Structure 1
Amino acid sequence: MTLLFVCLLLIYSGFSLFVIHFWRRKPSQTYPLKQELTLLVPVLLLNALWLWLPILQSQRLLLGFGHAMAMLSWITLVLYWCGSFFYRLQGLQLFLFPIAVLSLLCDVFLPGATTGVVVDNSAFALHIMSSLLAYSLFALATLLAWLMLWLARDLRQHRLSPSVSFLPPLLSIEKLMFQSLTMGFVSLTVSLLSGMLFSEYVFGHAFTWTHKIIFGIASWVIYAGILFLRWRQGARGKKIAIAVIVGFILLMLAYAGSKFVLEIVLAHSR
């Protein structure tokens, strides 16, 4: 497993350096997307082996901080790979590959809880799958929102920076962001409902109001408001993009933030 970790770390680091170099030096040239997607196939399979082999060996779902971050990063990369065949997602690589590097490092050096849990009922499986999918879709939407702000700033300042020619058109980024938000919102709704209605089966105890539920509902309200304003008024622009980022921060606080504090900060302070 150590060799696999080193290989993945070097490959994702190489991808990161190549994309950054291409963006800075050759933004007007055609990005070798087909070659990238082809190379990503074995890399994503190796990454899946890294993530799922310990789970298959222990017959338990690992939900520690580091492993959860690595899992979310991998799912987001898979969504990016699939979506690249239908949409122009160029620019997301600038974030996705470095995030993959950081998530692998977190998985090894900040694993958090390593005991894992047994997925022994369909309600729990539904909750976990919908949660992971929601986080990954909202991560994509957040990166797209960040690209929107970045590109809008350069266009507003009439700057001919590498981002203007490297990134997709602003309207295309905005359209993809709202599509990701819609799918993520459906997944988050399923996740929240399954956690609240089937708490006995999912968590083994009756439903209680926790910080995770509160932050999760707060992010749900923000995303619901964004989609409602988009539907009723065609809302768009800087404020919407910032709201998307704020919603994701709350969502991260709901799960990743609490796990980091409980499993990393408090565990090391004892």
Structure 2
Amino acid sequence: MSLLLLVLIFAYAALSVLAWRCWQRHTAVPYPLRGEQLLLLSVLLLHTFTVWQPMLQQRVLLVGFGHALNLITWLMVLLYWVGSFRYRLQGLQLALFPCSAAVLLLAWLLPGQPTAYPMHNSAFMIHVLSALLAYALFGITTLLAVLMLVRNHYLHRRKTVPQQSFLPPLLSIEKLMFQGLQAGFVLLTIAAVSGTVFSEAVFGEPARLTHKTVFGVLSWLIYLVILLRHHTQAWRGKKVAWWVIVSFVSLMLAYFGSKFVLEILF
């Protein structure tokens, strides 16, 4: 399986090179979206196999540092691929593909010590699946926030560059970002409530205050404030984009930070 993971790393690296070359060349040449979708489909099929084959074979859900990174990356790429048929996501692949290659490389180098949970534990499945989907959605919205900052940077430059037209309009990026934030916030709330109320059924112990809890609550509160201020005060622009990035970093510290300390350092 580690060999297949290496193949995936090189595949996403190759897709990164193709996307960046299309971005750098003259805009008169249209972006080969259909070609990318076909190539990405083949990569996604291989990625799906590497993620789910060991779990379906053993009928357990593997939750470890490396496998969780692999699973969330798979979800993010899948969300991008499905969304590319309906939305104009051009430009997002400039960050998504290199990040996917880098995260999978980290997962390959630091697999951690995966814990197997039986899939018949419904409370655990609700908690983990809602959390993983929330992380994937927030990952996409964070990349959209970065794309929004780049688009905003181009808009404020005195000289227009050809690469600027490669990116979607700023309002379209912002609209997609807030749609993703709303869906991710609902899923994160479900994960938080299920993890707290059914803590003994999920983790075998009552809920307690930990590093993971503190950063998880902090990121939930930041996302809540962002959404409330957007709906009540029409909050938007660069400040929102930066807070989306800060909240995602806090969320990653909550989950992967604790896993890194427990599985890699100790």
TM-score range for the pair, normalised by the shorter chain length: over 0.9
- Return closer, same or farther for 1:162/1:197 CA change in 2, 3 Å cut-off: farther
Instruction: Determine the structure 2 residue equivalent to 1:252.
Output: 252
Alignment check: 8 A CA contact 1:188 1:220 kept: yes
Instruction: Determine the structure 2 residue equivalent to 1:26.
Output: 26
CA distance in 2, matches of 1:126, 1:174: 29
CA distance in 1, matches of 2:71, 2:30: 31
- Return closer, same or farther for 1:28/1:246 CA change in 2, 3 Å cut-off: farther
Instruction: Determine the structure 2 residue equivalent to 1:68.
Output: 68
- Residue 60 of structure 2 aligns to a residue whose secondary structure is coil
* Alpha-carbon shift at residue 85 of structure 1 (Å): 1.3
Alignment of 1:87-102 (within 5 A): 87-102=87-102
Deviating above 6 A after TM superposition, structure 1's stretches of 4 or more consecutive aligned residues are none
Alignment check: 8 A CA contact 1:76 1:136 kept: yes
39-48 or 192-201, larger mean C-alpha shift: 39-48
Alignment check: 8 A CA contact 2:61 2:116 kept: yes
Alignment check: 8 A CA contact 2:6 2:108 kept: no
159-168 or 191-200, larger mean C-alpha shift: 159-168
Amino acid at match of 1:137: L
Instruction: Determine the structure 1 residue equivalent to 2:218.
Output: 218
- The CA RMSD over aligned residues, in Å, is 1.5
* Alpha-carbon shift at residue 4 of structure 1 (Å): 2.6
Instruction: Determine the structure 1 residue equivalent to 2:122.
Output: 122
Amino acid at match of 1:188: L
Deviations 1:38-72 (A, max 9, x none): 22222111101011112123333221111111111
Instruction: Determine the structure 2 residue equivalent to 1:40.
Output: 40
Alignment of 1:1-270 (within 5 A): 1-264=1-264, 266-267=265-266
CA distance in 1, matches of 2:124, 2:166: 42
CA distance in 1, matches of 2:104, 2:258: 20
* Alpha-carbon shift at residue 95 of structure 1 (Å): 1.3
Amino acid at match of 2:226: I
Normalised by the length of structure 2, the TM-score is 0.95
CA distance in 2, matches of 1:2, 1:139: 24
State the identity %: 52
- Residue 117 of structure 1 aligns to a residue whose secondary structure is strand
Alignment check: 8 A CA contact 1:70 1:106 kept: no
Alignment check: 8 A CA contact 1:12 1:97 kept: yes
* Alpha-carbon shift at residue 28 of structure 1 (Å): 4.5
- Return closer, same or farther for 1:159/1:62 CA change in 2, 3 Å cut-off: farther
- Residue 229 of structure 1 aligns to a residue whose secondary structure is helix
Alignment check: 8 A CA contact 1:64 1:113 kept: yes
201-210 or 6-15, larger mean C-alpha shift: 6-15
- Residue 61 of structure 2 aligns to a residue whose secondary structure is coil
Q: How many residues align?
A: 266
Alignment check: 8 A CA contact 1:151 1:163 kept: no
Question: Any unmatched runs of 5+ in structure 2?
Answer: none
Alignment check: 8 A CA contact 2:219 2:247 kept: yes
* Alpha-carbon shift at residue 199 of structure 1 (Å): 0.5
Alignment check: 8 A CA contact 1:28 1:165 kept: no
Alignment check: 8 A CA contact 1:67 1:106 kept: no
CA distance in 1, matches of 2:134, 2:115: 24
CA distance in 2, matches of 1:64, 1:5: 15
Question: Any unmatched runs of 5+ in structure 1?
Answer: none
